[in-house]
Chains A and B, each alone.
Chain A
Amino acid sequence: MPDGRDLADNLARLSLFADLTRPELEALAHTVDEEVFADGQRVLRTGLSGAGFFVILEGEASIQVDGETRWTLGPGDFFGEASVLTGEPPSADVVAKGLLRCIVVAGPDLERFLLERPHLLLRLLREEAHRLRTALEWRA
């Protein structure tokens, strides 16, 4: 993804951003930061405060608890929001599995970021509900 227009294009492909108009996507592409992580680099750290909200653009990441992989995330998946919204440090590590490209919304900016984009907030909520349901089914 060589330029800003392409970042907006890439965001448009992700279901989380499906309701945004083109100018909104461009504003979004200028609002978020983009970061690429090396294989094995940590993105989110258990117990460390100040996390951000990440959405995967390219590559995979593993969710690890005590060094053990519990889940693998791929393009379109997001993480970090639970820590930011509850104000609690992450309860798992997220580690790049190969080269990993994400967009990042800084923790202090997330609340406004979501409130300014209610459709995105709704999609996020749906995904959270889905995750909760899956977790409950696992437990049952």
Chain B
Amino acid sequence: MAGVEERPFPPGDYDVVVVGSGPGGLQTSYSLRALGVRHAVLSADEEPGGMFRRFPVFERLITWTKPDAPFERGTREYEWYDHNSLLAEEPEARALVPELMDRTSSMPSRPEMEAGLRAFAERTGLEIRYGCRWEGTRREDDGLVLVTSDGEYRCRAAVFAVGVTEPWKAPIPGVEEALHYTETGEPSRYAGQRVFIIGKRNSGFEVASGLLPWASQLVLASPRPVEYAILGRSVVRARYLEPLDEYSRGGAGAFVVDVAIERIERTGSGFRILTRGTTWPGELIFEAEQVLVATGFKTPLLDLPALGLATVADGRIPALTPFWESVSVPGVYFAGNASQGSPGLRKQGLASNSTSVNGFRYNAVVLARHLAETRFGVRAEPRKLERDEVVPYLLSELARAPELWVQKGYLARVLTFDGEIRDEGIVPLEHFVDEAGPDAVAVAIEMDGKATIYPAVYVRSSGRLVERALPSHPTHAFDSDDHRRELESVLGPLSR
């Protein structure tokens, strides 16, 4: 390892400090650097990759990267087909994950993903102070002080990209005797065993799918039923539904049950799990050799709650504004997986898609620009449009903009009409809807309660906001003649 003096970002004063070297930290630092914002990047790890250096346990991601797609690699449109690469301006740093895939699956393996992130850090020449652990935080004057294993860092704003990576067990009596998802280990150790898995979200189903060839019996249990009938809105990804398929066809090899777990007891050879039905009346007692707790993770917040940081979801996720700032502690921002703490407008119940790289890579780009503009007065000159460019441009965004398609209902393309027509870029829709300003239009992709995807247009004219849903289309061709006519009619005088 290099000597301490050769490492970048020694303790001191910085405009922004970014904590973390996973995808969220890398994307934030890249985007801040592109805007010229002076910042330090600190990481407790020794190399980039964050959670992908260790997870998922069964080494296969749930988000696709398709090496061949209707658009060329390296184009903006291609990003929709590659949900795992980070974003860069320089061609040699774009779409790196597909280069590294062996095409066994359209979902990259964990090592392929980790290699993609490492390649991104190398090819963009990002500087990171590795082996520097954030240990505490305090307010001082107008800013923050981050106490680390290397010393103190003063900054005006801090971006925590520390993942949602701290194993979390639901508080069930006896749960301390059970293994967490992260401690699953080799599947062969479960050969011939009855395994009781607590949690029916992706990690629970991932483990269950991975253990199907080994365990003699699997039980997946949690209070909430699995919703998978509407695939586009299902929390659990289709590729993990194999245990549910087995259960729904009968037999006793796999059970997927809706129960509150009252207690876990040790027995001579394993465990007894006492449960009570949540969607049916009655009690069930299960016997199993192993209990695995797949109730998720929490954001490692350290002492931030003591500074007044509000959280949701059992204290696991910070509660955030549309620009990912803590709702209760100004100057504290989050990037990466924890940016799910801002759900957005939740129209028809659809929350932001910020728990995976495809969503939060865009958040980081938007966050960097927001920090540059609001805290450091750095504003890139917006592109100006001619009036006859407006409709074709908005239609092409609705048809293909990866930011809008990935962050449905959360990110929007915004144009302002204030003498000139300016492209204000990609903006959180909630911010647009709630802010006053000049005449403007925002376009977004949304999804209704039945998972129908449709384009939405928001026009702000003389301070009044009008919302209009445009028709859906079976092949998502939102730039059709019908859409053009409807968009022109919604824009009214703005398009003429």
Contact = CB atoms under 8 A, between A and B. Distances in A.
Interface stretch (A45-53, A71-79, A124-132): A45-53
A22 B113 CA distance: 43
B118 interface: no
B279 A27 contact: yes
Interface in B343-386: 343, 345-351
Interface stretch (B98-106, B132-140, B245-253, B307-315): B307-315
Contact of A35 (B224, B328, B343, B433): B343
B171 interface: yes
B465 A35 contact: no
B138 to A, nearest CB: 21
Contacts of B343: 33, 35
Interface in A9-52: 22-24, 26-27, 29-31, 33-38, 41-42, 45, 47-52
Task: Summarize A's interface: helix, strand, loop or mixed.
Answer: mixed
A3 interface: yes
Interface string B239-278: 0000000000000000000111000000000000000111
Given A2-B315, A50-B345, A108-B448, A23 B467 contact: no
Given A22-B260, A47-B465, A99-B327, A27 B346 contact: no
Measured as residues with beta carbon below 8 angstroms from the partner, the interface class of chain B is 35 or more
A46 B266 CA distance: 55
Contact of B312 (A5, A36, A48): A36
B319 A7 contact: no
A29 to B, nearest CB: 8
Contact of A52 (B170, B223, B278, B349): B349
Q: Which of B259, B348, B351 is packed against the most chain A CB atoms within 10 Å?
A: B348
A87 B434 CA distance: 22
B203 interface: no
A92 interface: no
Nearest to B308: A99
B417 to A, nearest CB: 21
Contact of B258 (A27, A36, A38): A27
Contacts of B310: 36, 99, 101
B69 to A, nearest CB: 31
Interface residues of A, number: 37
A52 B346 contact: yes
A48 B223 contact: no
A26 B278 contact: yes
A82 B375 CA distance: 40
B314 A107 contact: no
Contacts of B260: 22-23, 26-27
Contacts of B469: 49
A104 interface: yes
Given A30-B224, A109-B449, 19 more contacts: A2-B315, A6-B314, A7-B314, A27-B258, A29-B223, A35-B343, A36-B328, A37-B327, A38-B327, A45-B434, A47-B467, A48-B347, A50-B347, A50-B448, A99-B327, A99-B328, A106-B349, A107-B348, A107-B449
Going nearest first, the 5 A-B pairs with the smallest beta carbon separation are A106-B349, A108-B449, A50-B347, A36-B319, A27-B278
Interface of B: 170-171, 222-224, 258-260, 276-279, 310-315, 319, 321, 327-328, 343, 345-351, 433-434, 446, 448-450, 465, 467, 469
20 contacts: A2-B315, A3-B314, A4-B314, A5-B171, A27-B260, A30-B222, A30-B224, A33-B312, A33-B351, A35-B312, A35-B346, A36-B319, A37-B327, A45-B434, A48-B467, A52-B346, A99-B310, A106-B349, A108-B348, A108-B450
